[in-house]
Amino acid sequence: MVYGSGIGIAITANCCPWLRGAMCYDVTTARLVREHDDVDVLALGARLTGLEVARDCLLTFLNTPFTGGRHARRVAEMRSMSQP
């Protein structure tokens, strides 16, 4: 999702127990939130991110799988904290 800074929409996504959102500002953060945190919602800041960088972030986010392994336990803990 693309909004002014991207921060508010990431916070809003995280209010839903079945979603995890992260604000990304470059390809590295887009890759890491997928690989390490299994994030569902990519938030980009329209006023902070150029069109080419946003496109690269989106493509990276969509094409990066969750690596699991040592990160799976932390993601499971995050999921359990968001359950009612």
What's the domain range around 8?
A: 2-82
**CATH code for the domain in which residue 49 is found:** 3.40.1400.10
Per-residue pLDDT of the chain in tens (84 residues, 90 and over written 9)? 667 889 999 999 988 888 889 999 999 999 999 999 999 999 999 999 999 999 999 999 999 999 888 888 887 787 777 666
Closest CA to 19 of 59, 84, 79: 79
pTM value? 0.83
Distance CA 79, CA 22 (A): 15
Residues, the chain: 84
In three-state secondary structure terms, 17 is coil
Closest CA to 21 of 76, 58, 12, 59: 12
Q: Which residue has the tokens 């980009």?
A: 44
Work out the number of other CB atoms within 10 angstroms of the CB of residue 58: 16
